Structure formats: structure tokens, C-alpha cells
Structure 1
């Protein structure tokens, strides 16, 4: 099981009816709970849906100050309509005698980041949730709203034009820690190693088959067609094919010693549906050394040494 099971990303924590008894028990035992934010008032207090009881997260308790953008209103406004995790600070009554719970998301984030800084190291596999995407990469919630960066070049071996070609916002994925910046309390993640080696991906295909693929790039000498997120082959150019097209391809040959797959494009198909399904070969534990290229590969191996990244 991934190593952040105690501090899951927001939106992935199992929910139970938040009764007054459960809230009192959570306060006594410092339990992490989760519920959706229903509004953010003019004072930037978050109002959380707790059923019969009102839940309030004051602005100062909504986001830890070390999180990038925590001082900006948009960081709070963007939480409306989304689940957030929290600890119960106090249970009391408002001015009209109605029950009310004061909550702290910040306290939970501080607990999570302290645990992460003490235990996570390069290669550690985590359950993550995609929060948003930019052209340079995807931002991942690695636990309790703690956000880490996944650079686009670390998403898959097959190159993509934008993270949206691989993920959707809110998607649950797995990723491994690439580096830890302890001074700034930041993590950088990697994803491609969990999708398997060249041989693991190539084992799903055989010469003589016709399969589906996505044209990822076109060069003067041919078109690179993605058969799986970590596997591409080279096909001869075809006039009516463009980057991003979904095509059917005939597999002419698979050559592990050259790490090459020779393809022939048969025809264009209906547009690709994103995101492409992911098939993880690694789902937990801590990676030390990952080699993408086959043992018989005639060139220096394509690999990631997580032990070196931890220095």
C-alpha cells in the first residue's frame, strides 16, 4: 500500500455521517475528517457541510502559510465545492444556541508535512490526486492538501504536449517522490517509472498484430505512435495523419536490442478519448533503481537511480 495511507489526498478519504458524537470523538482523538466546503464568506471563513451542525474553518486555519499562494484569496475561494480535510478544534454553540464546530485544516496539513518530511524519501510511492495542470506539469495533492509538482517530462516516457493528454483534474493516480526540498518543504514527483519498463510494455504486443495508437510527434523520417504511455513505435509518414490523431497500426517488428518497434499506419480512427487508461506495474513500496531499457539494449541503459537523488 502506498506510504501516505494515513494522510490521504483530499477527496479520497472514506466519509462517514458526521454526527455530533463522531465530531466529539474526533476532537478527543485528534482524528482527521473530511467534508465539502459549501461557501466562503466575506471574512474568508470556510463553511463546511457537517449535516445538522455548522462547521467553520477561519481563514487563518484554512491553509498553512508555507504552502505557495496561501496568502492569496484565490487559494481559499478555489476550495468552495470541494472536499477538505480537517481536525475538530472545538464544539460549542453560536449566539443563537445552535451547535457549531470550529475546524482546522491547517493543523492537519502541519501534521502531514511533518510526517512526510520525516519519512518520505526519493522513490517512495504515494497515492495522489491531480489538483490542476499547466503546460509544464501537473500539481498533485500528496496528502491533506499538501501539493507537489510533477514535471511534464516525468509523466511518461512517451512525450505528450500537455498533462491533460494523460490526466484529468481530480483523477486519482500513483506517483513516486523524485526529490525532497527540506528547506522549503517541497516535493517533486515522478510518474513514468510506475508505468513499467520497455519490456513490460512491449510484452502486451506481438509482430503481425494491428492495434490502436496515438500519433505523438511527426518528423521528416516518420511518425512516432504511442502504443502505451511508456511505449512508442516509429511508422512511415502518411499524408492525412497529424499529431494527436488516433490511428490503427500494424506491428511489423519488435526489436529489444535497439529498443525499437516498427509500425505501419493503417488508417485514422475517431478522435482519441482522454485521458488514456493507465496500467501501473509498480503500486507501492520504495524504488531504488529503475531501468527502463531491456537488458540486451546495445546502448547505455535508460534508468533512474533514486538512491543518488537522495544525496
Structure 2
């Protein structure tokens, strides 16, 4: 079985087949199949009600997530699932007070299986799918399987520095990430290694071109302009420019041994432009060692995954 972030299984034909009738739901229970459907209500007692199409499903509070019964996971983790897909296993069928059949579900059991059969087998350098769940100043929280969340620290998101993860991601975005380290059940992630080396990024540009960019910081000695998530250049100072602005910049020169791109700002302006799709130079498999800097560079920037 393939373990995916919540929301990616919901619309698959295989998943939909089990909601056709009661017989297929019984089949899913017999096979201990992990399914996915939308949670529609969180009761006052924090039981989650799930729409199974032909019948109603109930995830008891203690079965809503790993750690709820132990008190290590807060109830907000249950409440926040309303109107979103949730994964679960069917554990029983019961009759409610009206005599109607109700499926008893467990999200916790689906998460435990994901931990044991997928996450426990990961090692640093593995590239995995993830879905952005929420963004904080210090990093992006992402679902790495069955609603189990991990963190990409802000400095691991890209080589080009950003002031907030919202400058790079949006909630609900499907991304790729790399396992950085593992301590027990805690998995730390990185992302910048998938966005290309200096040479891969700079190969998209030529001196003499005028291209688009984003103002990232204004320093006493110049203005840093992001050309791509893993590539920024330094422009000459220009009055009235501030971080977050869109810009058009002229490329003066590229200096591989110093990893520098020299720019001149033609124009800088305030405009909300949707985040462009991320370009991944690597999106699957395993990374043992990643070097960002070119061979002739005076400075070495690298990530070592396999010690």
C-alpha cells in the first residue's frame, strides 16, 4: 500500500469504489483497507462524523489521531479536520438509536500503520511527497502521510532567503521534501536541495537580459533580488525599493567562482502576483550528497545525508 498525505487518496478510483454500497464497505473492513472521505461535523464530545455516502461514519475522539488518548495531541487536531478529507480504517458496524447502520472508524489505526510500514523505513536523503498544512514564521508544517505532520524550517525551504514561508508555499499545496534527520518518531525535513544547484538555476539566464524578480532584502551595500527560489543576485542601490516588491532587473554579469549575479533594477513595484509553480530538478528517489556551489567556487555549499 502507498501511504500519502491526506487529501491525495480521496478522489482515486480505488478509494471511491469502496463507497458504492454497504457490501464494499464491509469488504474494506475485512481487508483492513485505509480509506479517505470528508469529515463533515465535529460533535461537542469531539467525535468526528464522516460522510461515507451510503451511511454515516463516526471516528470516536480517542481514535481521531495518535496522541489524543495520551493527551500529547490537542483536540484542535480533531476540530481542524472538519470539511477536509480524513483517512481511516473501518473497525466495526453498529446500529444507532434510530436503528440505522453506522460505521465505526479509526484514523489513529491508519496513522499507526503509516508510521510502522512507511515512516519507520525512511532514512535521511529520501525524497517524499508532502502537503502543506499550515505556515508559521519559523517554518512550514506538512503532512507526510495519513495526517502525520512534520516541519520544514524556514532556512531549509530554499537557498534564497525569505521572510515567511508564505513567500514560497501556500496551504494545501502538494510539494516534495527530503528527509533531513530522524529521531525516534520525529522526522525533520528539508526542501532546498530539490530546487536546483547554482549552475542549474543560472543556466536559465544570460547577461544582457532583463528578467523578473522579487526584492528580498535591502542592505547598505545593495539590494538582493530573487530570480528563482534557489538563485538571488545583488543589485545596485535604488531609492524607494523595499522587500516584497516585484521587480524587473537587468543582468550585468555572472561570476561562478563567487556565485554572484550582478543586477541593475529597472523598475520595482507593489503587486500581488500568485506564487508560480515550484520547479523541482529532482522529485523522487534518494539523495546521498548535494552540492549547490559550482566546482570553481571559492565557497562550498553542500548537504550530506548519508554519513
Q: TM-score, normalised by structure 1?
A: 0.93
The alpha carbon displacement at 1:195 in A equals 0.4
Correspondence list, 1:69-88, <5 A: 70-88=72-90
1:46 aligns to what? 48
1:10 aligns to what? 6
2:101 aligns to what? 99
CA contact (8 A) 1:214 1:272 kept: no
CA contact (8 A) 1:213 1:247 kept: yes
Q: What is the CA–CA distance in structure 1 between the aligned matches of 2:266 and 2:87, rounded to whole Å?
A: 50
Question: Cα distance 1:253–1:66, how it changes in 2: closer, same or farther (>3 A)?
Answer: farther
1:133 aligns to what? 135
2:280 aligns to what? 280
CA contact (8 A) 1:35 1:49 kept: yes
Greater relative CO (CA pairs within 8 A, separation 6+): 1
The alpha carbon displacement at 1:76 in A equals 1.2
Runs of 4 or more above 3 Å deviation? 66-71
Say which SS state the counterpart of residue 160 (structure 1) adopts.
Answer: coil
CA contact (8 A) 1:69 1:75 kept: no
Say which SS state the counterpart of residue 106 (structure 1) adopts.
Answer: helix
The alignment of Structure 1 onto Structure 2 pairs a total of residues equal to: 301
CA contact (8 A) 1:164 1:274 kept: no
1:306 aligns to what? 305
Q: Which runs of 5+ in 1 are unaligned?
A: none
The alpha carbon displacement at 1:116 in A equals 3.4
Q: What is the CA–CA distance in structure 2 between the aligned matches of 1:261 and 1:67, rounded to whole Å?
A: 54
**Cα offsets for 1:241-291 (capped at 9, x unmatched):** 111110000111111111100101001245142434310001100100000
Comparing 249-258 and 227-236, the one that deviates more: 249-258
The alpha carbon displacement at 1:69 in A equals 7.2
Q: Which runs of 5+ in 2 are unaligned?
A: none
CA contact (8 A) 1:256 1:296 kept: yes
Comparing 10-19 and 195-204, the one that deviates more: 10-19
Question: Cα distance 1:285–1:302, how it changes in 2: closer, same or farther (>3 A)?
Answer: same
| RMSD of equivalent CA atoms | 1.7
1:30 aligns to what? 32
1:179 aligns to what? 181
CA contact (8 A) 1:165 1:276 kept: no
The alpha carbon displacement at 1:227 in A equals 0.1
1:267 aligns to what? 267
